[in-house]
Chain A
Amino acid sequence: MSKARYLVLQDGTVYEGQAFGGDVTTAGELVFNTGMTGYQESITDQSYNGEILMFTYPLIGNYGINFDDDESVAPTTAGVVVHELARKASNWRNRLSLDDFLKQHEIPGIQGIDTRSLTKKIRHQGAIRAAIVDHVADAAVLIDGLTEKLKQVVAQSSTKNAYPNPATGYRIVVVDFGLKHSILRELAKRECNVTVLPSTATAQQVLNYQPDGVLLSNGPGDPKNVPHALPMIREVEQQVPVFGICLGHQLFALANGADTFKMKFGHRGFNHPVEEIATKRIDFTSQNHGYAVDAASIENTDLLITHQEINDQTVEGLRHKNYPAFSVQFHPDAAPGPHDASHLFDDFLEIIASNQRQRELEENA
């Protein structure tokens, strides 16, 4: 049997399990994801930077890790907690085991945990900070250091340099706050000519590319830790169509005078039913966020709530009253999760197209 390892919570609770993955210690906010598939996409999703990711589905690693489904080049998830790691991975695309993958990326894992009881604890108490360690005594220091670390997660996840993803369609600038590759996949599918800019990009830097549209990406942590993005958004949204996803949605809200708050334990999974208020259409959406836009704070802004989660009425989508700018809290790019809302990328391109027609009409007039 593999060596013992401990998951220590901030409140002092200790769970003993067996080690797998990277042989390092870690600390992070302990969160749970209810998806029954998609561990590869989730673990490589940079939005989990600074978080220890626990899967509620008890068997993880069943189909191994493949070369196609990563959501980032260097995953930054702080740690992984599972009930049982698969002994043998079986899938035609399997290239290496989850264990080996986590070793490569030095992400520690722990298995043999009563993940259901821990999930219920988080549900009752809210997201809690925790550490994965070999010696219980090491946990406190690691957890204490988290506060500072969590402020840096966007900077850490974002690309440092601009890079292109060339194609022949609309020019789209993607501002990377911790970008999931599936957003690039969706844009590529639609032949968008993409340039990805770091999270620190200014409005001028964005507009220098003369984009047809700007996409504000997902990313980890508290949107209030990314204040420099707000003036950029305020400026850009007046010039070109903007589409915000997840953290990008929260930043879009903050930039326009709304407020965000930390949720008790967030939404992480892909069975969140979201209603488009105007049409009553309901999509199952892929979600990964611990913060949300405060619905009450929308009232005195130029924003409209377009989508809501039908169970807890969280704000799931916003639209600007005056500009062609909109955002959603969930992931229309799925991966992992259902494709129900992928039409939003088409909507974005349509908005770009109609915006350009409008411009042309205005210019001709």
Chain B
Amino acid sequence: MPKREDIHKILVIGSGPIIISQAAEFDYSGSQACLALKEEGYEVVLINSNPATIMTDQEIADQVYIEPITAEFVARVIRKERPDAILPTVGGQTGLNMAKALDEQGILEQYNVQLLGTSLKSINQAEDREQFKELMQDLGEPVPQSKTVNTLEEAQEFTAKIGFPVIIRPAYTLGGTGGGIADNEEELDEICSNGLALSPITQVLIEQSIAGYKEIEFEVMRDCNDNTMVVCSMENFDPVGIHTGDSIVYAPTQTLSDREYQMLRDVALRLISALKIEGGCNVQLALDPKSFQYYIIEVNPRVSRSSALASKATGYPIAKLAAKIAVGLTLDEIENPVTKTTFAMFEPMLDYVVCKIPRWPFDKFNQADRHLGTQMKATGEVMAIGRNIEEATQKAVRSLEIGTQTLDLAEMADKSDEELADLLVAATDDRLFAVYQALKRGWSVEEVHELTKIDFFFLDKLVHILEMTTEIVAHQNDAATLKLAKQNGFADAVLADLWQTNADQIRHQRLANDIVPTYKMVDTCAGEFDAHTPYFYSTYEDENESTPFDQPTVLVIGAGPIRIGQGIEFDYATVHCVQTLKDAGYRAIIMNNNPETVSTDFSISDKLYFEPLTLEDVMNVIDLEKPLGVVVQFGGQTAINLAKPLADRGVKILGTQVKDVNRAEDRDEFNKVVTDLRIPQPVGQTAFTNARALEAAEEIGYPVLVRPSYVLGGRAMQIVHNREQLHHYMTNAIKVSHEHPVLIDSYLQGKECEVDAICDGTTVLIPGIMEHIEGAGIHSGDSMAVYPSQTLSDDVISQIETQTIQLAHSLKCIGLMNVQFVIHEGTAYVIEVNPRASRTVPFLSKVTKIPMTQLATEVIMGQKLADKGYTDGLAPADKMIHVKAPIFSFSKLNDVDSLLGPEMKSTGEVMGSDVSLPKALNKAFIASGYEISDHGSILMTIRDEQKPKATEVARRLTNLGFSIYATQGTADFFEQHGVPVMKRVAKLSDGSDDEIMDLLVNKRVSLVVNTVDDTENGQQDGARMRAMAISHEVLLMTALDTVSAILTMLEDRAYALEAL
């Protein structure tokens, strides 16, 4: 059917900020969908609050609104733009929720806006537990049975009906406390009684347990003619019980016979037909490993994280086609963008194996509960492609950048058998390594299976890797063994360890024996049809299919998996760099391993290598492609860390040179740069031993900021106020060694701000200064920031400008550079220089309208800023004010303290822009999902040194009519300083949780301000109260400056109320 002519203008809803479980995959699907609609000639309007995305680039839609995604703001956009239709299926859960809200508020009807892709009925059928159950019943499809009960007798009765095992989930307990799996009546009685007692409403959910079943996923598509097809099937390594986003996943299915596969395929297609989805849909199924019995776990009536993975795993661009289908095109008339010789109505056939491994944030959150379950905890993921499981798995492991290229994780060796068994039963993020360790200790496959329920097929692959390791050790320097090892995914660095040599030596040995990777194309059709996708993966076989370009080629290194501190911003920069290179006539190649992102869409670059980003893998591509150089500035720390080893091997690094990168990153060299330029910086020292660290701190004077040398996103960084704290930090938080010294800096209190600069060797352009709202001590990535700066004096601005220009020249910066300052008593001190694209580049590019990545890429390739009309110094700002606000995912992570500090904790950001600061702040808060009322009660618990400042904040709150509740010490201080306290609340450590629980559960307070740092008093009070606020969804602030910003907004909006 031809596309619809009755609609012309389409509103696309984005997914908003990156949070755990709703991440970069929606930038990929959203931008693909927008471009696809534009390609079909529709006018596209986009709303998304996330500035760090490709999706919110001006070129992606005809009108881009970076506004809060709330019904109020979407309605405003609808009133202004009058779209004919809305596409809500590419913006994750946010998109679907918005469609429902707009419908409920009558906005769709009022403005005669149609929904595309999926109907409200389907959304409800898929999302609402009861409606979903009903639909499944109508279709005769089995779902795990469940029932809410209030007594043990009811539980027994229901269990007798459905049989053991059952899962017991108490209602409204923190983190599901008190739940469990019962295998018999005794266990049921015990767990259920306990659960009922713990539940504040004496209620538990009894659910049929399908833990241990195989978890199978299908990505399916359907058009308006009811043509249906499967794009990709996937099988989880981890059986049912762990969120699929936290599971290791293989594509296609591995252990299903055709009979099982076709049975489940039929189910998936029946479901999408029943839901009448026009577009893509994800179906999750559980299959009994011992029969044909299956259950439907979940259906997502939209594109999802899994569909992004499936798109990258097969080459089939689901979101793009889903958008075209949504406007009436049918699968049999859309060209298959991969083969260009077949149609989109084509089920991809793989001739390789794909392995996805999630990337968890526990390296940053070392206090966090690492157990995996139904709540997703990963921030990102990697994907690897190989010709067998071993190869794909080992490539995926080394893509993770978790400090290991092998399954033989050193710290697992230290575990006792008992600890190991625990790790196998209750899965944590490192279970893969625990399984390997268990097999290494000679535990039988049967034993490991018994503990993990992981399929024997996958366990045997790990056994094979283990056996091969023994073989490798036994056949030192044997070429045949080397080749076999490479075919099974062993990294050069791993072989080097096994053969007690270095990776370069292994590489020489490989080259001498002509053991080099062959690159195979991802073509959706297993080679059956001619295809021209520039999408390749490495393996060790006969035929290499990737031919180098004749034209000058540039290799751009991507940023790998999304993690805290290295987010989607770097994918944004990578994509823009590649587009600029293409425009300038170069052939641009991307290497990356993140399946969620835009950069790994094969249509972005001239060639995509979906590969790990280790030195070995990058050198292999360079050997083949012989690029004129490599760009490392845009791929975050992942790429910049490759600069030196690449340069050492004769590879040309484009842009800022390696020795200059090192002068910015190495503490001593950087000190020299700053001293030579006479730029003020906080006094600092480097210590290689604990004793020296303590001495240094005395010399500098407390408080001091301590951190390990090479840092990523402020890892293990801390502010310490005295000797005891420092001692504690040195002995507990880090290990100091000669290779890894600790840096100790004077901690200057004051405003922080940062700039990004572009330098071509002559001109230094500073697009803008971002002024942080939270003062020094809170990581820049976790600070709210405003552009243009609001409070900096002309003198300070001029200092910042001058110093940035001096630094850029001195560091011989070519391309981008980020400088962070603290403003202390009227002087700008340099804290840090990052000789690469930073997190703020997309935000600043959007608000200053200076295409920073493009310009940086152009100067890297030799062009001059002056020729483009740019001059030295700070670019003038326009009248709009833009606020960036960080977004956190604390509700997904147990045991992570939400107190903001020098360690970055946020996962995403939103932007609020308006004509005044209060309005821009308000928008940023709304986009952050904060519901801020203009009256009510506020519970404050403030650490000692902040009490004076807090008193002023409390006074302002009181003036607006808020009631102050406070814990003892805080209340005393407030009252002594003339701020009335309405209610004194017992601290957690002073009594029971009851009083605070009551305030939170019954929403008697609308805001909790808690700034108590537990590392100072050694207690857990602060963290506990914060966790309680988060779990009961009460707005929480941990920085007084953020509260001040809220006050700025509230005061502006309040009427003056002064008695005569």
Q: Which residues of A contact B (CB under 8 A)?
A: 32, 34-38, 40-41, 56-59, 62-63, 66, 68-69, 83-84, 86-93, 114-117, 119-120, 123, 269, 271, 273, 275, 280-282, 284, 310-311, 334-339
Q: Are B456 and A88 in contact (CB under 8 A)?
A: yes
A289 CA to B542 CA, complexed, in Å: 28
B363 at the interface (CB under 8 A from A): no
Residues of B within 8 A of A86 (CB): 457
With known contacts A116-B520, A119-B528, A271-B347, A339–B255 Cβ distance under 8 A: no
Could you list 5 A-B pairs, sorted by A, with CB under 8 Å? A37-B262, A40-B257, A56-B528, A59-B389, A115-B351
What is the distance, in angstroms, from B532's C-beta to the closest C-beta of chain A?
13
A150 to B364, CA, bound (A): 66
Question: How far apart sit A273 and B332, CA to CA, in the bound complex (Å)?
Answer: 9
Identify which of A36, A37, A83 contacts B387 (C-beta below 8 A).
A83
* Smallest CB-CB A-B distances: 6 pairs: A117-B543, A38-B258, A90-B457, A336-B258, A56-B526, A114-B542
- Interface stretch, picked from B337-345, B406-414, B744-752, is B337-345
B389 cross-chain contacts in A, Cβ below 8 A: 59
Residues of B within 8 A of A310 (CB): 332, 343, 345
User: Which B residues are CB-close (under 8 A) to A115?
Assistant: 351
Q: Does B244 contact A (CB under 8 A)?
A: no
A interface, over-half SS: loop
Q: Which of B291, B341, B349 contacts A269 (CB 8 A)?
A: B349
Q: Is B117 an interface residue (CB 8 A)?
A: no
- Given A57-B350, A90-B455, A90-B457: A311 in contact with B527 (beta carbons within 8 A): no
Contact B351 A37 (CB under 8 A): no
Are the C-beta atoms of A311 and B541 separated by less than 8 Å?
Answer: no
CB of A119 within 8 A of CB of B258, answer no
- Neighbouring B residues of A119 by C-beta, 8 Å: 351, 526-528
Q: Given A119-B527, A271-B346, A273-B343, do A114 and B541 touch, yes or no (CB 8 Å)?
A: yes
Question: Cβ of A87: which chain B residues have Cβ within 8 Å of it?
Answer: 460, 464
Question: Is A59 a contact of B346 with CB atoms below 8 Å?
Answer: no
CA distance A348 to B227 in the complex (A): 23
User: Do B530 and A56 touch across chains, with their CB atoms under 8 A apart?
Assistant: no
B534 interface residue (CB < 8 Å to A): no
From A83, which residue of chain B is reached at the shortest CB distance? B387
Per the bound structure, the CA–CA distance linking A59 and B347 in Å amounts to: 19
Contact: A275 with B332, CB < 8 Å? yes
B629 at the A/B interface (Cβ < 8 Å)? no
A6 to chain B, nearest CB (A): 14
Q: CA of A62 to CA of B528 in the docked complex: distance in angstroms?
A: 23
Using CB atoms, name the residue of chain B closest to A93. B257
Which secondary structure characterizes the binding site on chain B? loop
Known: A88-B457, A92-B291, A269-B349. A63 touches B256 (CB 8 A): yes
Question: A123 contacts which of B253, B343, B527, B543 (Cβ < 8 Å)?
Answer: B527
Nearest CB in chain A: distance from B745 CB, A: 54
Q: Which residues of A contact B253 (CB under 8 A)?
A: 36-37
What is the distance, in angstroms, from B321's C-beta to the closest C-beta of chain A? 14
Interface presence of B353 (CB below 8 A) = yes
Q: Which residues of A contact B455 (CB under 8 A)?
A: 90
Residue pair B254, A273 in contact (C-beta under 8 Å): no
Residue among A116, A281, A284, A336 having the largest count of chain B Cβ atoms under 10 Å: A116
| C-alpha spacing A66/B349, complex, angstroms | 24
What is the bound-complex CA distance between A338 and B269, given in angstroms?
11
Q: What residues of chain A lie closer than 8 Å to B347, measured between beta carbons?
A: 271, 284
Tell me the minimal C-beta distance from A258 to chain B in angstroms. 26
Query: A-B contact count, CB below 8 Å?
Result: 146
Complex: A119 Cα to B518 Cα, angstroms: 16
Check B456–A90 contact: CB distance below 8 A: yes
A28 to B955 Cα, complex, angstroms: 91
Known interface pairs A84-B387, A311-B346, A338-B265; A66-B527 also in contact (CB < 8 Å): no
B388 CB–A CB distance under 8 Å: yes
Which A residues lie within 8 Å of B348 (CB)? 271
Asked if A116 contacts B254 (CB within 8 A), the reply is no
* A58-B387, A84-B388, A114-B542 as given contacts; A337 in contact with B225, CB under 8 Å: no
C-alpha spacing A66/B527, complex, angstroms: 29
Q: Is B266 an interface residue (CB 8 A)?
A: yes
Interface centre among B252, B261, B456 (most CB of A within 10 A): B261
Question: Whole-angstrom distance from the CB of A137 to the nearest CB of chain B?
Answer: 22
Chain B, interface size category, equals 35 or more
CA distance A41 to B262 in the complex (A): 13
- B259 touches A (CB below 8 Å): yes
Q: A339 with B266: in contact, given A56-B351, A91-B255 (CB under 8 Å)? A: yes
Interchain CB contact (< 8 A) of A337 among B255, B256, B262, B289: B262
| Residues of B contacting A91 in the complex (Cβ-Cβ under 8 angstroms) | 255-257, 260
Are A66 and B257 neighbours in the complex by a CB distance under 8 Å?
yes
Given A36-B350, A116-B527, A123-B527: A62 in contact with B457 (beta carbons within 8 A): yes
Q: Which residue of B lies closest to A274 (CB)?
A: B345
**A337 with B258, Cβ < 8 A, contacts A36-B350, A284-B229 known:** yes
Asked whether A37 lies within 8 Å of B464 as measured between CB atoms, the reply is: no
Is residue B331 within 8 Å, beta carbon to beta carbon, of the partner chain?
A: yes
- A259 to chain B minimum Cβ distance, whole angstroms, is 25
Q: In the complex, are the beta carbons of A68 and B541 less than 8 A apart?
A: no
Contact residues, B229-277 vs A (CB, 8 A) = 229, 252-262, 265-266
B483 CB, nearest partner CB in chain A, Å: 11
Most buried by B among A37, A59, A84: A37
Q: Which residues of A contact B529 (CB under 8 A)?
A: 123, 311
Chain B: minimal CB distance from A167 (Å):
22
Query: Which residues of chain B have C-beta atoms less than 8 A from A338's C-beta?
Result: 262, 265-266
Q: What are the residues of chain B within 8 A of A273 when measuring CB–CB?
A: 229, 332, 343, 345-346
Query: CB distance A35 to B351 under 8 Å?
Result: no
Which residue on chain B has the smallest CB distance to residue A335? B258
Q: How far is the CA of A88 from the CA of B260 in the complex (A)?
A: 19
Q: Which residues from A are CB-within-8-Å of B821?
A: none
What are the residues of chain B within 8 A of A281 when measuring CB–CB?
A: 227
**Interface contact B255-A63, CB-CB below 8 Å:** yes
Instruction: Flag if A58 contacts B258 (CB, 8 Å).
Output: no
Q: Which of A36, A41, A63, A335 contacts B349 (CB 8 A)?
A: A36
Q: How far is the CA of A34 from the CA of B524 in the complex (A)?
A: 11
Residues of B contacting A88 in the complex (Cβ-Cβ under 8 angstroms): 456-457, 460
Name the CB-closest residue of B to A270: B347
Contact between chains at A339 and B258 (CB < 8 Å): no
Please measure, in the bound complex, the distance between the C-alpha atom of A92 and the C-alpha atom of B288, giving whole angstroms: 9
Known: A62-B255, A69-B258, A339-B266. Contact between A57 and B342, CB under 8 A? no
CA distance A46 to B342 in the complex (A): 29
Give Cα A23–Cα B254 distance, bound, in whole angstroms.
28
Of the residues A34, A69, A84, A311, contact of B259 by C-beta under 8 Å:
A69
B324-372 interface (Cβ within 8 A of A): 331-332, 341-343, 345-353
- With a cutoff of 8 Å between Cβ atoms, the chain B residues found around residue A57 in the complex are 252, 349-351, 526
State whether A280 touches B225 (Cβ < 8 A).
yes
For B543, the chain A residues whose CB sits under 8 A away are 114, 116-117, 120
Instruction: Indicate with 1 or 0, residue by residue over B772-810, a CB within 8 angstroms of chain A CB atoms.
Output: 000000000000000000000000000000000000000
A117 lies within 8 A of B541 (CB) = yes
What residue of chain A has the Cβ atom nearest to residue B528's Cβ?
A34
Contacts A57-B349, A91-B255, A311-B343 given: A282-B331 contact, CB under 8 Å? yes
In the complex, what residues of A have CB within 8 A of residue B387's CB?
58, 83-84
Tell whether A269 pairs with B258 under 8 Å between CB atoms, given A116-B520, A284-B229.
no
